[in-house]
Each structure stands twice: as C-alpha cells, then as structure tokens.
Structure 1
Amino acid sequence: MATAPDKERLDQIQKALQERDWDALVLFHTDNILMASGMFPGSTHVVAIVTVDRKVVVITPWWRERFVQEESWADDVLTYDWCKGFNGVEPISAIHDLLRKCKADFGLAKIGYDARMHHYNPTKIPSEFFIYEELKLQLPEIFKLVHDATEVINQLKSIKTAHEVEKIRLAHEVAKAGVKAFYQSAGAGIRESDLAAEVNYAVLKMVGYKGIRYSYCDPPQITSGPERTFIADTLSNHATERILQEGDPVMLEFGVHADGFWADITRNLIVGGPREDHLRIHGAILKAQKEVMAAYIPNRSRGEELCQIAWETMRSEGFGEGITHFLGHGLGFAYHEDRPILGPGEKKIIQPGHVTSLEPGLYLKKNGIPLGGIRIEDNVLWGKERGQAEILSSFYRGLDSKDW
C-alpha cells in the first residue's frame, strides 16, 4: 500500500455495507474502482473488492501489479497471467477464479456490485465496458447472494470526501492549462481541429505536475461561427476543418481528468474581440450563475429550483428566447455523473460535498437566422453554509483572448 487510504471514504463504504448486511462491494467500472482504491485502473479487466471490515483487494493483469501497489491503497493485489507469453490464459475465467479465492479467503457470501453503468459523456464510446457484462453474469454462481448496488454506489460517489475534492482541484489546474491554450491559440485563420489539438496537447503536457501520473482530454469540442455555436447546446460537437474568421463566436467544451478525477469546462471568445451584444449575453449568463450560488441553501435547495433561478435571471435580462438546456450535473469521478442534476423535475436536494457543473447558456437567432451561442460552464463545490459555493474553475471566463 503506497497511497494513504481515504479513511473518510472507507468509513462511508463500511457503513453502507453494514446497513445492508452485505459482506463486500465488488466493483468493475473505472470510476467505482477509483472511489474504492484511490487508483485510476489504467487497464481493462480490473476488479476492486471492499469488504465490510475495510479490506481492499484489487484484481489486475500481471503487468499492472507494480502500478496498483504504488498508486492504490489496496491491502492485497491479486494478478493473473493474461497475455504473458503464450500460456492461453483467458481473462474472464481468470478473474472468476480469483473472485472464488476471495470468497473463500474472506468469507464473502452476500455482495453488492455495480450492475449498471451510468453513461452520459459527450464523446467517449463505452465499448470497453461491454466486457464487464460477461464478468457480472457469473456472480450469482460464485456468491450466495448478489445485489444490484448501483444506487448505493452512485449515492456514495455523489458526495465527495476532502481527499477527493483536492484531487478534483488538481484536475481543474489541468483544465486551466487547456483553457489557456484555447485563448492563446484561437484567432482568424486557424482550423477548429487545430485549435482542439492545441488544447489537447496542453492537457497532456500536465503529466508530472504536482505528481499527476495520468492526464487525459476528451476530444475538445470546438464550435465556431454563428451556425455552429447556435447548435452547441447539444451533447457532441466535434471540431471540424472550419477556419475561424474575424468576428466569429468560438466555443470550447471539454472534459479532462487527472488520475481519474474530472473537470468539465466551457469557455467562449469572439475572434477580434466582443461587441456590445456579445457582452450583454455574456453578462446575463454570469449573473445567472451568481444568483444561483447566492440562493443555495444546504440540504434544502433542489436541482429544479436552482435551475429555475438561472432561467428567470436570464429572462429578466431580456433573454426570454435562447434557453435550451438544464443548468448542471454532478461530476468528479466521471465527466458526467447521474446526480445531482440541476434541471426541471429534479427533486433531490443539493448537499455539502456535491460537486456539479453550473452551465447556463443562451443560443440565439433573429428572423430565423442564427446569431450564435454562448455558454459558461464552471464547476462548483457546494458548501455547508447558505450561499457557500466555491467555483473550482475560477480562471478566466471572458470573451476577449487578449485579457487572458
């Protein structure tokens, strides 16, 4: 065990197991393994087990053994010889054998597992996760009682520990490097795809900063011009060969992670500098953010209420049209988490330790002709006091690249 365990997190997992009389959680998906072991798996075919007495075991291919020992707080690391020479070891069967070993060694009869995967990331295709369905199918044959713990796991993840918050802060420092590259590289004559490449490059160069082992940038979504930024309220807008022109609105939407912890950021600029109408839109969006944070009451505010405050603020600024999406979503262990949602119909309360995006946007047209869209997406840590909301992405969010 090279990494100090997050005692707060292990306490919470232990309590959840005790309340349900389960012997362990068996975890297959990347963000859940990260929560339980402190380690970004870095490979497929990895499983983490947390027992009711707080023992953490990681099952991993043999070539990842040293990494798991150095990067996790696992008490035991079990390996199998997949892809080691020509021995023919099949990973699914090997993992099942090691799960049987854990059952015998630790007396595991009743387990919960991450039966369902929440997937709501803009561009990442979840094909790598399909292998876990094969692993999960055998669980009822290995353990006496098997429970779908998806709801329990997602609720645990939604409220971040102090350790996890610091990791998320570090992810935002990585995101800041990408945002800086966006502002410094955007200008008339550059292609959207080349601008995206500069952002991606800046993120990858952050490996080694403050001990970061892995940095990753989901393909940066760059949209430019009135037509493309007008439809940038949708989930996936890949960078194209379009060349930025003077006067263009340009939007960057991207997610980055540092050692598995995510930031989700949107920034905008106007090539050559903003006009008065751009500043008015931008001001209404920033005001909406500010009003939402001021209205927050811990353990009372609901996602739908905060969303309505943002919408009403933008309407009061003269923008009755152009509101096309909800206000925010949970994040941290993933680009998008399933809770809490800041949007219509969301009854869940916002609690201290929640981390969400706060992303009001306006997408406008006149006489049927798109004028463009502007969205500011920041990430917020909700606090223990009324109005206490810390913007983790507190770096530049203006429209003029010269002001970076």
Structure 2
Amino acid sequence: MSRSDFTAKEFAGRLARVRAEMRLQNLDWLVAVHPVSIHWLTGSDAKSYQEFQCLLVGAQDEPLVVLTRHGEKHEFETDSLADEVHWFGGGENEDPIEAFAALARRHGLLGKRIGLEVPAFYLHPYHYLALRDLMGDALITESTDLIPRLKLVKSPAELGYIRRAAAIADLGMDRFKRDLAAGATELTLAGGVYETLLSNGSGIAASPINLVSGPRSAYSHGAPTERVLQRGDYVNIEFGATYRRYTATIGRQFVLGRPTPRMLELYDVVRDASDAMTAAIRHGVSARLPHEAARAVIGKAGLEPYRVHLSGYGLAPGFPPSWAEPLHMIGGSPNVLEAGMVVTVEPPVFIGAEGLGARIIDTLLVTQTGAERLGKSSRDLIVVE
C-alpha cells in the first residue's frame, strides 16, 4: 500500500474520525505503534515494524509525525502522507526512546494527555516500560484498539481490494487442486500456490501458508514440510491472498483416494458448523451468535473437546505475523457485527489422538440481511483419485 492507493478524501476522512474519537476520549495526542494503524492513516508500506516506530497523531490540526529507523526514512518521505519524518539509528546503534523523547519534547507531548497503542507483536517490553516512564502522568490510557475499531467497517475502496484478494485466492486453490497428487511433497505444493498468488498480483500475506497431510492433518496450524503425500492421506490447506495488503483467506479439505467414514464424518460436521455460522451472520447481531451456532453443531456431534480455537475473526490489511483484527467470534466477545465488516468463518475440529482434523475457511462480507461469501471455490470435500 502507498498513499496513492486511496483518495486524499478517504485518508482525510480516516484522520478526522480518529481525531473525533480522540476528543471524545479527552486525548491530546495518540502514539500509534501498530504498523496497520500507521498504514491506514499515512499509506506507508514501510517494512520497519520489527524495530521501534511510531506515528504521532494530534487531536486538532497538528502535523502527522513519524519516527522510524533510518533505513525507512526515504520510503516514508516519498510514499506516505506523513507531514514530518524523523529517524534514529543508521550505520550505528541509537536508542530509539531517546529519539522519541526529543521528538515528544519538540511537539509538547509530555505536558498533554496521551494515549499509547500497545500492540501484541510490535512494541518491545523494554521500549514500553521506557515510554511509560518517560510519559509519566501524561500517559492516561493505552489506546490499543482506538484505530483498529474505527476501521472494522470497510470503505467501498477497501472492499474492492478484498474482493480482488479473494479472486486471487481462488486461483491459488485451483492450482493446488491441479497439483495435488501422491508423490508430491507438501513444500512443492505450497510453492505452486505461492507462485500462482504472486504471479496474479497478490502481495506476500502477513501469515504463512498452513498445509498438513496424513497424520499431520491433526495439526491445526502446521507449516508445509518435505513429507511426501500418499494415497489415503487427509489433507488440509489454508492460506491468504492479499491485494494492497488487504487480505482474503481460504481453507479446504482434500483426500487422496477413497475417504474413510471418519474423514467424511469430520468433514460433514465442520461443513454443517460453517453453514450454521454463516446463516447467523448479519448486521446487528452479537459476534457470539455465529460462534454459538457453530459450537452447537460440533457439540451435538460429540466433538466439543476438539474445537481448538475461535470460530472466526475480522480481517484487515496485515503485517507479519497476523492479518487479524480485534473482532473475535467466540464466547464472551463484546463485538457486534455491522454491515461492511469482513470476517473469516472457520470452526475447527482437530483430534490429535486420531491424527485427523478438518477446517473449512471462507472470507465473508457482513451485510444488512446476511453474509456474502467473497470466494468462489467449491466447499465440497475434494477427492483426488
């Protein structure tokens, strides 16, 4: 993504919404750390998230100020909407918190009311503690979800990118179907999928491909290996395609040769749970409702102990290691679904003792009256003779 991927009007609207929410929360400044937050407000696609970086957002008409490592300075200057770009490091080590302190004093943050994003993957604990000490009483809240919750409902332009990603994901699944055969390795099959995705315009997805076969099919998030596929294998694949970092995910079940009754049973339960979940999705319902619909199907089949994770979640533009948003379809979720949100549907069953697992994954757009499945790939169990 870059600043040219959306209109100036759309970027300005995003910033206005963030500032309005900041004023409601009585914040003078927001220190955004999550790369998706920085990306959403400035258009920056810079790969600097593994080092300290932040975006300073004032509640009034202050400039958007970026602090990043020296290696990303030029990219922020030429391909983002940041009004000021400051940097640390370069050819020698430099403490980024010292650089932040100088910048905070220059813009008068330390005497104001500050909210700080504290994302799971992108803020080192040492840096967090140093920032907290530096800000002192000025740090009044950890505003980790302020921006992410504002962006759960997608704009028409964002939805266009997600639809493009879903179409590319379908091409990747078509390639996998063509290549799947006894004697192929998991890694070779994964390579074919990636070749198809990238050659058709997908960027590199924030989370790597999951591809498991045979006894490894009980691994809910197993990476592909050198394992050679054999007749009789149950196979599960999940991957994401992206367009301008906007993600669509897909997951399907396959079997090489005749499926066993147990394979068919697990597939049917997961398919029915996915259908029940999809039927429950619409504008205005609690995110717990689709989850409970899927859980009821799995529980009725006696498989509740093997439901190993949540039933679905929101999808965002993603940076490694995740494309997820803070919208979870699981028990106790506080979220309410709204038209324009994009979610995954993926109720799981994985039974380690049997070496079997099943999961069907689709990307859905929440609408006023239901849900639209964005991918077109068949959801049937694919049997390869």
**Pairing partner for 1:191 from 182, 185, 189:** 185
**Pairing partner for 1:238 from 194, 198, 223:** 223
Contact 1:65 1:77 survives alignment (8 Å): no
Q: Kindly report which structure 2 residues correspond to 1:2-401, keeping only aligned pairs within 5 A, or say none.
A: 2-3=3-4, 4-5=7-8, 6-43=11-48, 44-53=51-60, 55-74=63-82, 76-80=83-87, 82-84=89-91, 89-103=94-108, 109-115=112-118, 117-118=119-120, 126=121, 129-131=122-124, 133-134=126-127, 137-138=130-131, 141=134, 145-146=138-139, 147-206=141-200, 209=201, 214-216=203-205, 218-225=207-214, 227-229=215-217, 231-233=218-220, 236-272=221-257, 281-299=266-284, 301-313=285-297, 319-321=301-303, 324-325=307-308, 326-334=310-318, 335=322, 337=324, 339-363=326-350, 370=354, 372-383=356-367, 385-387=368-370, 389-400=371-382
Please state how far the C-alpha of 1:261 moved relative to its aligned partner: 3.1
Task: Give, as a single letter, the amino acid of the residue that structure 1 aligns with 2:295.
Answer: W
Segment drifting more, 393-402 vs 237-246:
393-402
Partner of 1:122: none
Segment drifting more, 347-356 vs 240-249:
347-356
Please state how far the C-alpha of 1:251 moved relative to its aligned partner: 0.6
Contact 1:36 1:50 survives alignment (8 Å): no
The 3-state SS of whatever aligns with 1:331 is: strand
Please state how far the C-alpha of 1:2 moved relative to its aligned partner: 4.5
Contact 2:204 2:241 survives alignment (8 Å): yes
Provide, for residues 116-145 of structure 1, a one-character-per-residue CA deviation record: whole Å limited to 9, x for no partner: x24xxxxxxx4xx35474166235535862
Please state how far the C-alpha of 1:217 moved relative to its aligned partner: 5.7
Contact 2:253 2:267 survives alignment (8 Å): no
With the length of structure 1 as denominator, give the TM-score of the two structures. 0.78
Aligned-residue identity in percent: 23
**Structure 1 unaligned spans of 5+:** 119-125
Distance 2:358 2:294 in 1: 15
Contact 2:181 2:384 survives alignment (8 Å): no
**Structure 2 unaligned spans of 5+:** none
Distance 1:164 1:133 in 2: 35
Change (3 A) 1:90 1:245: same
Q: How many residues align?
A: 371
Contact 1:171 1:262 survives alignment (8 Å): yes
Contact 1:302 1:349 survives alignment (8 Å): yes
Change (3 A) 1:108 1:380: farther
Please state how far the C-alpha of 1:347 moved relative to its aligned partner: 4.5
Change (3 A) 1:53 1:171: farther
With the length of structure 2 as denominator, give the TM-score of the two structures. 0.81
Distance 1:40 1:21 in 2: 30
